[in-house]
Structure 1
Amino acid sequence: MSTVQESLGRVDSEIKSDSNSEKIASEQPLKAPDSSSIDEEYSLSSEKVLNKKELDRIYRKLDRRIIPALWCLYFLTSFGSSYYGLTLTMNKSQGHSLRQTLNLTAKDTSTASALYYVGYILFDVPMNLIMTKVSPQSWLSRIVITVGLVYTCYHVLDNNKGLIAIRFISGVVGAGTWPGMSYYVSLWYPNDRSTKRIGYYFTAAQISAAVAGLVSAGFQKMDGVRGYSGWQWSYLVYGVITMAVGISLLWWLPDRPFKTVEEGNSSYMKLYRKYFTPPHPLNEQERALHRADIESRYQLIQWTFQDVLVIITDLRIWPLIIMYFGVVGTGFGLAVFGSTIISVNNPHLSSIDVSLLYAPIWVFDLCGILLITPLADRYKQHRAFFFSGACFIIMCGMFVTTFAKGSWNKYGGLLIAGFGLGPTVPICMSWASEMFEPRYGDVGVAVSAALVSGLGNLGSVTSTYALYSGWPADVPRLYKYSNMMLVVILGASVIAAIVCHFIKDKVRQKRS
């Protein structure tokens, strides 16, 4: 108590001293400010500008090393998801599409698509938690290698049961990809720089979807070569390339910026770091400045399953999951059935024409990312506004696709929807990191990303299993009701974003 009284006494005396100083100053003529104080203030200001410029240079240097590696990783792992929908219709006129070759029913295709996301959802959180305990670089490489191995096996499929099983396995080995990359970015970049970086490598998904359409057109020309269908050749080539790139990531993608408690100094880790970890991308001086900039990022590395349970019960996680549910459900619905929608709206197009028209949807998606995500980073207090605006653009596109007159007007609606889809997922993931890192630290970023991605992917299950080909009665309606269901879940995402905006700072504040 005496300490408090002494403190209050000092404050009171300082206030009186300040008031007396103001009175004396008012009675004296104004004097020019001391030149030494001006120089000191100018020096401090110059130092801040210099540090800002130096940090910008450091993060650009990291970008050149990290972003291309993550871009290739995401391009290849997302390529298979986009390409699967195209193989259902490849060489359809010759009777050699995946659906025709394996005699797939509508139930088979919807079940296979749904089980892919079931595997993804079940293993998303465990896979991302493992990543916090091991080398993130090696774990991301493992994902790419196993994805390539599994997709290589697609070319030997000969029945519907094999397809259903391998789609589930594909989801299991690919689980943790998206939240893992978000967690990895959070290790190297502060939150106010992360959305733009997530947007940079998120463009890989859009470009891979566009390239999938172009590649599909090319592989259809190989139909019958050495007894393989076009889709078999494409899966074989894709799988081999993906495995090769996954192995190269061991020497390309840098590991953690700083060694953590979990890594320790075991002989195994020393051996691994010696032969499989590339040199740190920054020199000693740059590393010191970088560490000072993100020092708070490394306050809580140790975690227990009680920490995980606390994050799961944090109310703020659920609006983020609903946001992700709506936009990812719409995104994967268009990724898997975009070519089907184009074909239904214009039945006179050949399968090659459909593949070529599928690509521009994702080019527009890329444009949305490049234009909007930098603004969402700069004005991060308005993330809900940017997310909701993008959702309304998607809704507009879906209305045009459904109700416009003329097949080309309907196609224009798909382009509009593609533009709106681009920035939505990066905003979700960076917002999750921003909300959960201050209180929960390392595990907060990892678990929130995995929960948002994993449970949010139930939207993908909904759009691929319950809608489109999984809803036979909607086929004669040209998928009108399926399109409108996507609009409904997008509306839920907008409401969730508004709720998230108001509760983001009001639930479980930072630890004292």
Structure 2
Amino acid sequence: MISDLEARVSRKLMLRIIPFVMLLYFVSFLDRVNVGFAAITMNKAIGLSPTAFGFGGGLFFIGYFLFEVPSNLILNKVGARKWIARVMVSWGIVSAASAFVVGPNSFYALRFILGVAEAGFFPGIILYLSLWFPSRQRAVAAAWFMAAAPISTAIGSPLSGAIMKLPPIAGLADWQMLYIIEAVPAIILGFVVLKYMTDTPSKAHWLAPDEREWLIAKLKREADAKQSHAGHTAGALNALRDPRVLALALIYFGTSAGLYTLGLWAPLIIRQYGFGSFETGLLAGIPSILAVIAMILWAKHSDRTEERTWHVVIPCVVACLGFVFAGNASSALMIILALVIVNIGISAAKAPLWAMPSMFLSGAGAAAGIAMINSVGNLGGFVGPFAIGWLKNVTGGYSAGLYVVGATLAVSAAVTLLLSRQAKQSHVAIGERHGH
């Protein structure tokens, strides 16, 4: 049974931390994928081919990949509050500067710099949540945080579509206005982070003394139990070499390929059925709303049963089948239905997956390991959109690229099962019930 004290602490953590980090991720995701809407008129204005757009869209992840681990290690040293504020302000400035690209090369350069600026945000928040939430709440906390991505698509898609309909202001085209308007919240929120965020539970004056003591003791007990376990990894270098970290990165690769394929290409795929900018935005948003509901319910089930493996495998298989269905779609209704299936699968897999690393990583090991999983995994965000663009140039349609992205999710499901089998054999419970 959960004690009254534990219930009180849980409620305060959920209300104080989760809505705020969701807001940050909402803005981050909006700035990351609004390029899909800008493309509707930007590509022609600055002379981008489908291959060039797919390549530039994906370059974000190369910058992200290179700077992710160093960024998270700095966050671990200086604290989340200062570092997340720095990330928000710098990416807001770069995102606004994207309004002034003049051709493929400047587009490539700014996408790369945007990745560098934003590196460390997502794994930084995942690490931050592990410093506050006991393990039984971690998948749900992560699910609420990550729900901001599909919510951002659901609200941001119609919003972006509406901004694209604005008349030119001060000689700026619709796509330029989109970049500038959607960059402003990131810069403002950077300064809010400095005021609002608390680095560690010991500094949480918004918790009563008994609540603060209970939380610190609970997290310490979990950390001590983890460190006494044979499969535990604490050092940064050891974490980067840990085969489990690499396996989780490969699993995440498939889900990222799927997520960013949707973010960058869904508006253009839907638009080919003759919809206007705003209608495209509304239709791109529908699957995301359903994905949020599935994501939260699935994470709750994963936390309640303390099972992770099948909670990752099943959604990956569902998303894979959704991409195959999308590749065969011949009407607007079929493509929307396929996008619903894909969205639900990808979103549901993520929270149980992100509950896994903190089972065997701590300290600098957790900072480096989580960043490594995210940075290598997010290369899927480069491969997926680029494959779609390149194969569209070659074949003239979207089907081949959609099948390739579906295949990456099949690999994710297979690697999750292999990892679980390996864990059982070596008694390192990463994906199963962890009552040792």
Q: Normalising by structure 1, report the TM-score.
A: 0.79
Aligned equivalent of 1:424: 349
Cα offset, 1:396, TM superposition = 2.6
How many Å apart are 1:486 and its aligned residue? 1.4
2:20 to 54, 61, 69: 69
**Aligned counterparts, 1:210-289, within 5 A:** 210-258=154-202, 280-289=205-214
Distance apart, 1:508 and its partner CA: 8.9
Structure 2 counterpart of 1:209: 153
Q: Are 2:387 and 1:387 aligned?
A: no
Distance 1:254 1:126, change over 3 A: same
1:370 aligns with 2:291: no
User: Is 1:367–1:422's contact at 8 Å kept on the other side of the alignment?
Assistant: no
2:368 equivalent among 435, 447, 455: 447
Q: Distance in 1 between matches of 2:399 and 2:30?
A: 27
Structure 1: which amino acid aligns with 2:253? F
Structure 2, unaligned runs of 5 or more: 228-232, 430-436
Aligned to 2:324: 399
- The residue type equivalent to 2:241 in the other structure is T
Amino acid at match of 1:109: F
Structure 1 position 226, deviation (Å): 2.6
Shift of 1:75: 0.7
Please state how far the C-alpha of 1:146 moved relative to its aligned partner.
1.2
With over 3 angstroms needed to count, the CA separation of the structure-2 counterparts of 1:399 and 1:159, relative to structure 1, is closer
Flag the structure with more relative contact order, 1 or 2, with Cα contacts below 8 A and sequence separation at least 6.
2
1:360 aligns to 2:311 (yes or no): no
CA shift in 2, pair 1:313/1:508, >3 Å? farther
Q: Tell me the equivalent position of 1:497.
A: 416
Is the contact between residue 214 and residue 356 of structure 1 (CA under 8 Å) also seen in structure 2?
yes
Q: Distance in 2 between matches of 1:450 and 1:427?
A: 17
Q: Which moved more, 1:500-509 or 1:189-198?
A: 500-509
Q: How does 1:280-359 map to 2 (within 5 A)?
A: 280-296=205-221, 307-344=235-272, 346=273, 348-359=274-285
1:20-35 residue pairs with structure 2 within 5 A? Answer: none
Change (3 A) 1:253 1:400: same
Shift of 1:475: 4.8
In the TM superposition, what is the alpha-carbon distance from 1:405 to its structure 2 partner? 4.3
Which amino acid letter does the alignment assign opposite residue 57 of structure 1? R
Show the counterpart of 2:380: 459
- What runs of 5+ residues in structure 1 fail to find an aligned partner? 1-48, 90-96, 260-278
> Deviation string for 1:407-445 (max 9, x for gaps)?
3122211111111111212222111111x23xxx21222
Question: Does residue 183 of structure 1 match 2:183?
Answer: no
Q: Is the 8 A contact 1:62 1:281 kept in 2?
A: no
1:196 to 134, 140, 145: 140
Q: Distance in 1 between matches of 2:338 and 2:145?
A: 25
Partner amino acid, structure 2, of 1:416:
I
- C-alpha distance in structure 2 between counterparts of 1:148 and 1:410, whole Å: 33
The aligned residue for residue 482 of structure 1 is 401
Give the count of matched residue pairs: 423
User: Given that residues 316 and 503 in structure 1 are in contact (C-alpha distance below 8 angstroms), is that contact kept between their aligned partners in structure 2?
Assistant: no
**Distance between the aligned counterparts of 1:63 and 1:251, measured in 2?**
19
- Residues 404, 230 of structure 1: alpha-carbon distance in 2 compared, 3 angstrom cutoff: closer
Equivalent residue number for residue 433 of structure 2: none
Say which one has the larger Rg: 1
The whole-number CA distance in structure 1 between the counterparts of 2:297 and 2:170 is: 46
Kindly, what percent of the aligned residue pairs are identical? 24
Q: Does 1:146 align with 2:90?
A: yes
- Show CA shifts across 1:260-282 (max 9, x none): xxxxxxxxxxxxxxxxxxx6221
Cα deviation for residue 79 of structure 1 reads: 0.9
Q: Residues 225 and 471 of structure 1: is their aligned pair in 2 closer, same or farther, counting only changes over 3 Å?
A: same
Query: What does residue 411 of structure 1 align with?
Result: 336
Q: Which moved more, 1:306-315 or 1:489-498?
A: 306-315
Partner amino acid, structure 1, of 2:195: W
